[in-house]
Structure 1
């Protein structure tokens, strides 16, 4: 008699070790899972709730400055180093991992308006309203190794990526060689004074400045005159160049918005970043070039995706005052903010991200949750929970009032076009062109 027995390998269902996960047999046929979409929606809802519940972005505060922190710079080659300048003339070098000062000096008699890393790894520069630029060596004494004297108060400072060349902003925009005591170039185009200047870190001969006459001016060191000038409706406070795209830069404006421009076509902004309810004081790109951080006079710090018009996150604390300087760290994991309460605060770039090492199973689960949130982001409940951000009451009230005013202005313009023959022939001005007065070359 022939008997056919069922046989199977124990390797298909038995664990090798007692710590391993039990093997589960799954049928991937969609007809066997009619409620799969409903289960995934519930998982997406739980994921977005957990994301908001674990949203704890604040890492720590570095105190020590007596006056407000009005300028800050990260070191391009040292991940752990940040330089800050204060209103009382003090300059500090910080070690982020320890959240402590490793070097300090009273460098200037006025407000430190700009700091930047130098051409050597241990050198950095600072400028002040006392008309001086000083080069410091943090590996030696607290005395400057070189001092440059300008004929006007200096409001901005930036250094060339590779060459021993730096630029200052004041009554004019000057380009200096570290080996000379006088500027090698001086640029001026109608403004009373310039308050910020930034070198392009990709196309290193290009740099930009913003003036008190609401202008943004582009320069090339290889020429003796400015390239072009953009006139805005309100003043620009700061400029940041995209570290990946050489032709893209972002500006922080007094009209509560940040703008992203293409230097090849400046008659229209690439994007308008909204949500602040007061003047945007500083702006910085992430090293990936995909995100922007802004600090505002409304005491909030906001993170933007460069392709979206509204912020994905807003950070604030009860003790943080008006923010004058912001920086992304070189690993894109953290954001720094300097305010006039004298503290530098460290924030996570992703508010709910876990600090430290994640297991592969945990990482896989987080990636699955992110894909579910992206898949169901159009659902009302998930969109409502994902967009909710707790804000201070004064910021919330100002935001509500601002939306009412903008809505009233929008309705007024629409009614004028409907009921006026002359206005009906006029096309509505695009949002990306409203703040631009003109471009001169």
Structure 2
């Protein structure tokens, strides 16, 4: 710092130090030391970083405790879950006995309980356009509920009820228009002020299981059919757009909230298929690892990951661009999964199963809950980068990938792997000893039967 005095015309140079660079935050904190980043002064930097990465990945597995708690109160199996964008700690759950509950996840208590339907509550969806909740059930009713009160007392009675001609299995509200899409015997579009559908789409399907509006291209919606098909609709058109038929039926579908054309379907053949709606001849990725039918799928708010729930009693987390899961969650008492949801703050995962419990998990198993100081956060970020740098080293890769799984999952996984190896060996032998060469079918397209437009 230079100081000028007008009287004496003298120039004084002073040293200025920022106390944050060398002062401790607390008495128990470590002393801060300056560091010279000249690479010539650190000849053992790579071995030191490798050791830090190895310790970091070991500590990550030590602190990997994903299960937070459970929400107990339903008297029958959980059939569906719903989120409220206006209240991040609110969770709606529908049960097989027609009961609808509103939970405060932060306090782990029920805010309100109402008998919504006779029979299963098939789907729950919240509309941001009208700030209301919609439910459908086996009693052929679409019910609209207000949920503005902080204690959830608005759920005493529905504000609107629509009687339909057939049983409904799914519902999805439009993001910015007063339009609903329902699925059952066909795909119906409803206006909230009318008791009759404004449009009906049919394409030779007995019934539809799941339907979802695209959150980016708002006029596009997709549905899963009982004839093993995935059908795309445009609400501005009078007929469906495209249909792709797989070898087995899809149970649920979810659009990527950040990429307009990408969606993922949960299939009965133990896999999940990610498609680009512009080209349905081949999936972008096939996500494996489950050992039983996949029932539900939901994307994270960032669009980079998704969660799947399966009949093999496990919840798996996938990177949207990877074929294998990055983590698996399970407990001893958790039975077959029926639904899963990723929280809108990207920190938690909810799963519902048929033994009447809703479980809360951390989206990142080793993440610390609570206050994280700046220096601790910086150290965790450095550790993550070091693990990413050395992730292909055998010791680090083995520790990072290892997961304890239930015995039935372990045995079923080995059996499926041996079956795939045998099929691959048979295909190799047939090609080797056959004069007439057979066409090579990529693995990704083996699940596709046909595409129709």
Q: TM-score range by the shorter chain?
A: over 0.9
> Corresponding residue for 2:61?
52
User: How far off its partner does 1:331 sit?
Assistant: 1.0
User: How far off its partner does 1:119 sit?
Assistant: 4.6
> Corresponding residue for 2:385?
371
> Corresponding residue for 1:174?
188
Distance 1:275 1:16 in 2: 50
- CA 1:42 to 1:171, structure 2 compared with 1: closer, same or farther past 3 Å? same
Distance 1:202 1:76 in 2: 16
1:118-133 correspondence to structure 2 within 5 Å:
118-119=127-128, 122-133=131-142
Distance 2:313 2:380 in 1: 32
> Corresponding residue for 2:446?
434
The answer for unaligned runs of 5 or more in structure 2 is 1-13
1:26-425 correspondence to structure 2 within 5 Å:
26-119=35-128, 122-138=131-147, 139=149, 140=154, 142-422=156-436, 424-425=437-438
Distance 1:426 1:225 in 2: 35
Distance 1:16 1:358 in 2: 19
- CA 1:132 to 1:43, structure 2 compared with 1: closer, same or farther past 3 Å? same
- CA 1:419 to 1:69, structure 2 compared with 1: closer, same or farther past 3 Å? same
Distance 1:214 1:78 in 2: 36
| Contact 2:22 2:33 (C-alpha < 8 Å) held by counterparts | no
| Contact 1:81 1:94 (C-alpha < 8 Å) held by counterparts | yes
Paired residues, number: 432
Distance 2:179 2:290 in 1: 35
Helix, strand or coil at the partner of 1:312: strand
Distance 2:37 2:144 in 1: 65
TM-score if structure 2 supplies the norm length?
0.92
Helix, strand or coil at the partner of 2:64: coil
Distance 1:228 1:255 in 2: 22
After superposition, give the CA deviation of every residue in 1:61-113 in whole Å (9 maximum; x if it has no partner). 01111111111111233212221110000011111111111121111111111
Distance 1:31 1:76 in 2: 53
| Contact 2:275 2:285 (C-alpha < 8 Å) held by counterparts | yes
Distance 1:285 1:165 in 2: 23
- CA 1:267 to 1:369, structure 2 compared with 1: closer, same or farther past 3 Å? same
Q: Which moved more, 1:13-22 or 1:382-391?
A: 13-22
| Contact 1:131 1:154 (C-alpha < 8 Å) held by counterparts | yes
Distance 1:78 1:225 in 2: 37
| Contact 2:112 2:155 (C-alpha < 8 Å) held by counterparts | no
User: How far off its partner does 1:32 sit?
Assistant: 3.2
- CA 1:40 to 1:322, structure 2 compared with 1: closer, same or farther past 3 Å? same
Distance 1:370 1:101 in 2: 37
- CA 1:36 to 1:151, structure 2 compared with 1: closer, same or farther past 3 Å? same
